[in-house]
């Protein structure tokens, strides 16, 4: 009887687990570790990442791990940076495709925005009081892979903050322009308009 029960339990585990990939699941300030669970059947990748949302000296750092919904596969392994002089959003997002492969924590050192100017510049302006524009305070030197100028106008809430209207003119990476807004786990945006354009050569 015991043998039969054990055999039934193993079979049941195999059926319910099927071929689903197992990923660690968590989300927390600074770093996170959580439970390991099978993803929905159509999922092929796990993700782990950090999202650094900074306004002035206020840094919100969110760590997250989980399953990658197939509709968001394009957000994997992208370097997402939007940066004006006072506000910035930097997201790292690493994906992998074997059981529990996202368990190691992402090093926070991976999240330093490169400081070396790259020969491009963009208008610089940001406000958390308007969705309809702001007056540039000058030009911003872009760094590293920031080879686009981005304009964001819309509503957003940073982790632990209420929804506000933002306008941000910033240097951005091409990855940020392509997938940035949909790769965010912490900051939520709504009713927004995001435009990117080629930067000005210094």
Selection from 152, 148, 136 nearest residue 172 by Cα? 148
- Residue among 7, 10, 41, 59 that touches ligand NAG (CB under 6 A): 59
CB of 137 to ligand NAG, least distance (A): 18
CB of 132 to ligand NAG, least distance (A): 26
CB of 64 to ligand NAG, least distance (A): 14
Contact pattern for ligand NAG over residues 109 through 148, marking x by CB under 6 A: --xxx-----------------------------------
Q: Does 88 bind ligand NAG (CB under 6 A)?
A: yes
Contact 35, 24 (CB under 8 A): yes
- DSSP characters for 124-162? EEEESS-SS-----EEEEEETT--EEEEEEEEEE-TTS-
Q: Does 102 bind ligand NAG (CB under 6 A)?
A: no
- Residue among 28, 31, 44, 54 that touches ligand NAG (CB under 6 A): 54
CB of 126 to ligand NAG, least distance (A): 13
- Residue among 25, 52, 127, 148 that touches ligand NAG (CB under 6 A): 52
Residue 86, beta-bridge partner list: none
> Residue 187 corresponds to which tokens in the numbers above?
């900051």
- Residue among 27, 28, 31, 108 that touches ligand NAG (CB under 6 A): 108
Query: Could you tell me how many residues of this chain bind ligand NAG (CB under 6 A)?
Result: 10
Give the interface segment with ligand NAG, choosing from 17-25, 107-115, 140-148, 167-175 (CB under 6 A).
107-115
Chain contacts with ligand NAG (rule: CB under 6 A): 52, 54, 59, 61, 88, 90, 108, 111-113
């Amino acid at each position: 009887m015991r043998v039969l029960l054990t055999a039934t339990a193993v079979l049941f585990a195999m059926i319910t687990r099927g071929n689903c990939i197992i990923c660690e699941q968590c989300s927390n300030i600074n770093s996170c570790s959580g439970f390991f669970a099978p993803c929905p059947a159509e999922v092929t990748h796990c993700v782990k990442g950090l999202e650094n949302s900074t306004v002035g000296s206020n840094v919100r750092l969110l760590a997250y791990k989980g399953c990658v919904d197939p509709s968001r596969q394009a957000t994997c392994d992208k370097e997402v940076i939007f940066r004006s002089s006072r506000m910035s959003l930097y997201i790292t997002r690493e994906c992998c495709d074997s059981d529990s492969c996202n368990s190691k924590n992402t090093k926070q050192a991976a999240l330093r925005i490169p400081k070396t100017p790259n020969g491009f510049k963009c208008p610089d302006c940001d406000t958390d009081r308007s969705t309809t524009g702001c007056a540039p305070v000058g030009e911003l030197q872009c760094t590293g892979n920031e080879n686009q100028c981005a304009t964001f106008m819309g509503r957003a809430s940073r982790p632990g903050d209420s929804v506000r209207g933002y306008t941000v003119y910033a240097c951005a990476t091409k990855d940020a322009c392509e997938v940035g807004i949909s790769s965010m786990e912490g900051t939520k945006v709504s009713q927004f308009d995001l435009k990117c354009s080629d930067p000005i050569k210094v």
